[in-house]
């Protein structure tokens, strides 16, 4: 019988521990799997994508009221917002343009705000268990694949990750689980990651000796079979003993600080998986108010929005400290947003017509994409001009196609070409105004 620990080790480190050897040497897993080929004919510089990114995906099947606190929902006085002093409407600047949002969003550093896009889109469902369908962009993706899996497929070879499949460290319900090619993917909570990697005889304990042993195995090929270009390629990638020591100490310290499965711990887990090059896409869950039908005075919405933005700020700070600010994009996509009308002061209902996604990363030119307007008895996403990102009655992105356009833009942001994007997502058009 394969134990859960063995299954996790296989996922995290690859067959035969190939991922661990890649971490210890700095050499891509593809090189270690076929060193003779790599030494004779190293891969060309670049990988097709002009700016490959790791993706940290924040996703929730709760339908959080994140859409009630962001820029784009403060121009209509009939939209209900939390009246708590910590959520007071506050001006903030993105790329030189002034907007109004709840106070927590204005606390993000300016450099982060200038890479932040707020997307007003429609998911067209008020049903919690439809979260997997929303991640599949409501049946508009090729082979019914989830957006995180489409992104992972395009990014894995560029980033040299151990596996293509995304990993979830934060799913709080079955609907938040991820799939790849129709297969349900494992969920690896932060505490499980810590328990697997930090035992006294754990896989991170002997990185230096593993580095030396792996390089010794390659020595004859390097000396006798490698072309000059192959040697140069390998030399440019090999990690020194001191670097390996720093990697080992850094990862062990990071994992040791995980005490639970809270959003802060999920972020530590996601950073660890990225630094180990396990997967291109890591999913987490940051609460932003939850399913708040009876949220008296919108207190849960307030408390979780303040904490949620602080968690995002902490993530951005940790990415900068790790030297990953330009290599990792934060992206959110939830099943639906909440109703915004003036009666929503003690709780909100499901809103199939409006959901706000947030993206933060180097590929994005910060700003507000789309906006809201009256729809039925409440508010919903409006048509968008893909070239300006602004609301337009003649916009080429309808509310019904805005979810597909969001997915297409995510692929464009990481360098996927237009023909491939069109083959992967059948509805929408990339919103070029959001791209840096």
Q: Where are the domains of the chain?
A: 1-45+201-258, 51-189+261-434
Instruction: Give the pLDDT of residue 225.
Output: 86
Cα–Cα nearest to 265, from 329, 327, 193: 193
Task: Output the CA torsion 332→299→264→369 (10° steps).
Answer: 20
Instruction: Give me the average pLDDT of each 10-residue run along the chain (436 residues).
Output: 66 81 88 86 60 93 97 97 98 98 98 98 98 97 97 91 93 92 92 88 86 92 88 90 91 94 97 93 97 97 98 98 96 98 96 98 97 97 98 97 98 94 97 97
CA separation for the pair 256, 187 (Å, rounded)? 20
Query: What predicted TM-score, i.e. pTM, was given to this entire model?
Result: 0.94
Instruction: Give the pLDDT of residue 300.
Output: 97
Q: What angle do CA 354, 356, 361 make, to 5 degrees?
A: 155
252-279 in b/e burial notation, b at 16+ Cβ within 10 A?
bebbeebeebbbbbbbbbbbbbbbbbbb
Instruction: Give the pLDDT of residue 1.
Output: 47
Helices 207-224 and 18-25: angle between axes, nearest 10 degrees: 80
Instruction: Give the pLDDT of residue 230.
Output: 87
CATH class name, domain 51-189+261-434: alpha beta
Instruction: Give the pLDDT of residue 29.
Output: 83
Contact between 352 and 126 (Cβ < 8 Å): yes
């Amino acid at each position: 019988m394969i134990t859960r620990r063995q299954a996790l080790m296989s996922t995290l480190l690859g067959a035969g521990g190939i991922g661990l050897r890649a971490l210890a040497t700095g050499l891509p897993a593809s090189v270690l799997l076929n060193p003779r080929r790599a030494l004779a004919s190293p891969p060309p510089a670049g990988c097709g994508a002009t700016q490959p990114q790791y993706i940290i995906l924040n996703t929730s099947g709760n339908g959080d009221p994140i859409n009630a606190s962001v820029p784009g929902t403060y121009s209509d006085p009939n939209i209900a917002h939390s009246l708590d002093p910590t959520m007071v409407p506050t001006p903030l600047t993105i790329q030189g343009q002034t907007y109004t949002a709840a106070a927590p969003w204005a606390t993000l550093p300016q450099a982060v705000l200038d890479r932040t896009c707020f997307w007003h889109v429609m998911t067209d469902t008020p049903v919690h268990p439809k979260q997997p369908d929303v991640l599949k962009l409501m049946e508009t993706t090729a082979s019914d694949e989830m957006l995180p899996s489409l992104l992972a497929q395009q990014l894995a070879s560029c980033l040299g990750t151990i596996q293509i499949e995304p990993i979830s460290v934060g799913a709080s319900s079955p609907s938040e689980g991820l799939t790849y090619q129709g297969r349900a993917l494992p969920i690896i909570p932060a505490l499980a990651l810590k328990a697997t990697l930090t035992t006294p005889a754990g896989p991170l304990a002997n990185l230096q000796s593993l580095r030396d042993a792996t390089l010794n195995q390659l020595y004859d090929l390097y000396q006798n079979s490698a072309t000059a270009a192959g040697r140069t390629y390998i030399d440019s990638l090999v990690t020194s003993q001191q670097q390996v020591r720093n990697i080992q100490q850094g990862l062990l310290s990071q994992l040791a600080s995980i005490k639970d499965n809270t959003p802060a711990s999920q972020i530590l887990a996601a950073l660890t998986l990225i630094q180990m090059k396990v997967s291109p896409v890591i999913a987490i869950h940051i609460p932003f108010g939850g399913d708040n039908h009876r949220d008296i005075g919108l207190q849960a919405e307030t408390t979780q929005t303040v904490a949620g933005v602080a968690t995002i700020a902490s993530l951005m700070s940790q990415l900068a400290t790790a030297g990953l600010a330009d290599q990792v994009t934060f992206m959110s996509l939830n099943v639906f947003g909440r109703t915004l009308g003036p009666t929503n002061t003690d709780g909100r209902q499901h809103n199939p017509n409006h959901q706000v996604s947030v993206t933060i990363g180097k590929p994005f030119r910060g700003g507000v994409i789309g906006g809201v307007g009256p729809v039925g008895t409440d508010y919903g996403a409006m048509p968008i001009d893909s070239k300006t990102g602004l609301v337009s009655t003649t916009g080429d992105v309808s509310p019904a196609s805005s979810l597909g356009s969001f997915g297409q833009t995510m692929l464009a942001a990481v360098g996927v070409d237009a023909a491939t994007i069109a083959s992967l997502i059948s509805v929408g058009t990339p919103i070029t105004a959001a791209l840096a």
